[in-house]
């Protein structure tokens, strides 16, 4: 049985490499990203790689692209609007365990809802902290740490992320 699975995996990898010039993990070879999204109850037209980690109460709208190795933490409640791009490795949180860790487990996990508007771009490997609201039409640059809310129509990047101007949808 194991040899059959390995043979299938190799054939699927070769097909993916030949067709798209990329290699993905086994789960992404044998699942459909749009089916994954439907199983989570996400909006029509949304795609979610198999490698995405989803926990808690996560609500996702329509026509979103959620890349590989993303973390969507809804333990405190997470909403994502329509038409967003959540790039590879992005992490969006609605909880933390800092106090719990510092007290040896005596303090409870802290939670606060997090919201991402519509038509938002969150760059690769960015982190959005719990309690943050990102407005519609926002661009978050790669490798950013977003620890404060960002109003609609802005672009922000850095660690911590800072607003650097208006987002320009014509780019």
Residue 43 lies in a domain: yes
Residue 120 contacts residue 108 (beta carbons within 8 Å): no
**Does 22 score more than 90 pLDDT?**
no
Residue whose structure tokens are 């990203």: 33
Please tell me the total count of domains within the chain.
Answer: 1
The whole-number pLDDT of residue 169 equals 77
With CA atoms as reference, report the closest residue to 148 among 164, 137, 169, 134: 134
Residue 15 and residue 30: Cα distance in Å, rounded? 12
Residue 65 lies in a domain: yes
The whole-number pLDDT of residue 125 equals 98
Q: What is the CATH number of the domain that holds 98?
A: 2.160.10.10
Residue 136 and residue 142: Cα distance in Å, rounded? 18
Taking only the tens place, the pLDDT of each residue in 96-127 is 999 999 999 999 999 999 999 999 999 999 99
Predicted structure pTM score:
0.92
Residue 86 lies in a domain: yes
The whole-number pLDDT of residue 96 equals 97
Residue 148 lies in a domain: yes
92: domain range?
A: 31-161
């Amino acid at each position: 049985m194991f040899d059959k699975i390995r043979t299938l995996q190799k054939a699927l990898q070769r097909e993916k490499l030949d067709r798209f010039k990329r290699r993905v993990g086994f789960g992404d070879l044998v699942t459909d990203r749009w089916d994954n999204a439907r199983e989570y109850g996400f909006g029509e037209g949304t795609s979610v790689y198999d490698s995405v980690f989803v926990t808690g109460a996560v609500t996702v709208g329509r026509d979103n692209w959620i890349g590989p190795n993303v973390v969507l933490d809804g333990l405190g409640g997470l909403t994502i609007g329509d038409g967003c791009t959540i790039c590879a490795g992005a992490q969006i949180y609605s909880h933390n365990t800092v106090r719990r860790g510092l007290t040896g487990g005596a303090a409870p996990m802290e939670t606060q809802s997090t919201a991402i508007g519509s038509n938002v771009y969150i760059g690769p490997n960015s982190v959005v902290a719990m309690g943050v609201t990102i407005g519609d039409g926002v661009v978050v640059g790669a490798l950013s740490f977003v620890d404060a809310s960002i109003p609609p129509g802005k672009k922000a990047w850095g660690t911590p992320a800072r607003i650097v101007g208006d987002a320009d949808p014509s780019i």
